[in-house]
Amino acid sequence: MDGDDPIYLDNNATTPVDPRVLDAMLPYFSEVFGNPSSVEHIHGNRAQAAVAKARAQVASALGARENEIIFTGSCSEANNIAILGAARARPERRHLITSAIEHPAVLEPMRQLEREGFALTILDVDEYGRVAIDDLRAALRDDTGLVSVMGANNEVGTLQALAEIGACCETVGALFHSDLAQVPAHRAINVVDEHIHMASLSGHKAYGPKGVGALYVRSRSPRARLVPIMYGGGQERGLRSGTINVPLVVGMGEAMEIAKRNSQNDERRLRALCDELILEVTRTISGVSVNGHPIERIAGNVSLSIAGVEPLALMHRLNPVASFSASSACATDKVETSHVLLAMFGDTPRARQAFRISPGRFTTPEQLTNFACALAEAVTDLRRYAA
């Protein structure tokens, strides 16, 4: 990036492509350009081999089998395939469960199923953004077919107790799906140990390219059966028809392999950076609340609410200094109080004043120090004008 560019602190919205990922992708735009479905000739075979390698890389990052990985165009598409496909595959299981803080790519297909006659339970969360296991147990029914709870919240960073949730689901024969978009860059995942039956992944949340995702679908014990929600040539086990985008799939595979190898070191470094940022901000600015779970959280997320300061005004003031987010940046160009913060705190100043700082793999300590100083100055000025 140019030295005059703002500091990038919005990695929970999207990450830059790691240079190692880009290097892996480049040959597949021009040199190895075959269609991986054209297995009758060498150009197609080369492309198919690249896809097979990427599939193995994603599977290894999850502790899954290669035949359990479906490549998609995004994590949102993976969520839709999993939720709509699993529910419609077992129409006798008419009850669904999710949480109030899910991404719209989970909540909206759940609401579509509700319109189709399924019963939907939306679990509340506590002030840290966590689902209570007792609430889940109380909500489960004999006809519960699917539960979807995200691995880590994109707005406040809170991690859910996935293994406990998955184990609870298995007691009634319900499938457990989790949107893991935010997780691979920060911690290791093992879908078997954590009782996850389906999981959605995003390339661009883990230093890979945009426009590619993946869906893990358990093949046994229990097997997750899905019906397709789109139709065509039958690629990806008939669940995601369409020619595979080989360069992006290669990039996702490489990104997941790097994440598996480096997530522990990245997590340790980011946690230290974010702890220091929180310490500095709370030392220099009064009325600061830190949102999300204090311990069970991904490291690269600092959600703050500052009394008397509107996040949109703060963003405009600091635009030349840093790029960060006042709420989830996936859905629209409007900044509204997010459903996540409303679920955690209700319609309160703390919810309305929340904003998110998310450093990443390439953020330096100096950049966060500079941001903390600029933030303190901006808050002082905004409060003076409001007085």
Yes or no: say if 298 and 187 are a contact pair by the CB < 8 Å rule: yes
Whole-angstrom Cα distance, residue 150 to residue 269? 24
Q: Is 373 a catalytic residue?
A: no
CB 98 within 8 A of CB 120: yes
Side-chain half-sphere exposure of 231, counting CA atoms within 13 A = 1
List the 354-357 sheet strands across, edge first. 288-291, 302-306, 354-357
Burial call 285-296: b when 16+ CB within 10 Å, e when fewer = beebeebbbeee
Amino acid at 33: F
Evaluated on CA atoms 327, 330, 335, 336, the torsion sign reads negative
Helix boundaries (H) for 75-186: 75-89, 104-115, 133-139, 162-170
Residue pointed to by tokens 């879908």: 191
Q: Which tokens go with 101?
A: 């803080």
- The residue from 75, 168, 330, 373 that is catalytic is 330
Active site amino acids: 330
